[in-house]
A and B are shown apart, each in its own frame.
Chain A
Amino acid sequence: MPSVKAQSSDGEIPEADVEVAKQPVTIKTMVEDLRMDDAGGNDLVPLPNVNAAILKQVIPRCTHHKDDPPPPEDDENKEKRTDCVSVWDQELLKVGQGTLFELILAANYLDMKGLLDVTCKTVANRIKGKTPEELPKTFNIKNDFTEEEEARVRKENQWCGEK
């Protein structure tokens, strides 16, 4: 089975079966454009935006889901549920916020719809139930509003509050 080597931002070269590696659309495009499937397994697919630690988590997920049917076309008005994350993915996503965000960025860069959906659902689940004060701490985000700006945003958005 032909394999593809991807070179991460920090120089490491995780290897993967070419069929598995083609799941991320970015890689699939690169592989096909450069006709890497036919060649010997010595060409490197450069991924400067993804570091090795993240790539090592993304590749097993691609392997696990390699025979999944393609996700159905989004039904525009279907209720967006956050509770249908597979058990396997839940395990993968038991990571800290920083790693979760890195996975999201990788999924976005590699154009992997399945992984992007599931990581975003996970973030949404972590947002639910938290107060505005808890959220910046939970996600390690600096709240850069001045007191005045924050008061104005609160006032403007009062209509969004509890029904």
Chain B
Amino acid sequence: GGAGSGSGSAGAGGRLPSRVLELVFSYLELSELRSCALVCKHWYRCLHGDENSEVWRSLCARSLAEEALRTDILCNLPSYKAKVRAFQHAFSTNDCSRNVYIKKNGFTLHRNPIAQSTDGARTKIGFSEGRHAWEVWWEGPLGTVAVIGIATKRAPMQCQGYVALLGSDDQSWGWNLVDNNLLHNGEVNGSFPQCNNAPKYQIGERIRVILDMEDKTLAFERGYEFLGVAFRGLPKACLYPAVSAVYGNTEVTLVYLGKPLDG
């Protein structure tokens, strides 16, 4: 008895059935769900236990553009939650050259045909710890310089001429897919991968980038083949996935995958 009083039975909130909690969660935004995950283990499990639950399915449908969900851009993401997370980590509209824009799908960058300019973008979220993987690919011509890599918040995202912007100073590290050079601090750090007759990049080919902030390394994979560590001794800074491009109307897509699957 005593359930008629104001405070009622203590702990009832902690034992709501999952089905009911999911219904409550389905009315909340992502940042509110973040708070819910910290309330107690039961709420945490209800939210994060099933990455394809109705909560994540409806959040995915509400947050991601139809243009992204309809295509195969996100085909390597196994769950609705992974898709929502990828969108949170996508290219930032507020952190890119004025000569590029992020397309409606939310994941693809388009470079306007501006002469004598190199243009790049960073993603919305940078990393100072943990291990992270993302895939990136050109959907248009590369031109002479097409660089993928990482940058601190301070690296410039635009400059004059057609140059390897990513890797042009000590704030960024890049791999130019056109000539296979590794670039940092304005210098070529060698060729990558270190083998003879490395295949040329094909438009649409997805390259996986692996950033390890514990080991302080940056590595790349192509197909399911690990190509090797490209950079070591990365600084203890917040590093953002980034790209830089020169070709008019070319497009680059970046999709965050989460923790690398390997050991």
Contacts and interface: CB of A to CB of B under 8 A. Distances in A.
Interface of A: 10, 51, 53-54, 76-77, 79-82, 95-102, 104-105, 108, 116-117, 120-121, 123-124, 127-128, 130-132, 135-136, 139-145, 149-150, 153-155, 157-163
Given A144-B41, A157-B37, A102 B12 contact: yes
Contact of A127 (B9, B17, B35): B35
A141 B40 contact: yes
A54 B39 contact: no
A161 B85 CA distance: 11
A54 B8 CA distance: 11
B16 A101 contact: yes
Given A51-B1, A116-B20, A140 B34 contact: no
Contact of A160 (B12, B19, B20, B30): B30
Contact of B13 (A80, A97, A117): A97
A57 B130 CA distance: 51
B156 to A, nearest CB: 24
Contacts, number: 145
Contacts of A96: 5-8
A13 to B, nearest CB: 16
Contact of B88 (A53, A101, A104, A160): A160
Contacts of B38: 132, 135, 143, 145, 150, 153-154, 157
B79 interface: no
B61 interface: yes
A159 B89 contact: yes
Contacts of A162: 31
A144 B58 CA distance: 28
Contacts of B13: 97, 101, 139-141
B3 A102 contact: yes
Contact of B12 (A10, A98, A143, A157): A98
12 contacts: A76-B58, A76-B61, A82-B27, A105-B12, A127-B24, A128-B32, A132-B34, A139-B13, A139-B14, A143-B39, A159-B89, A161-B31
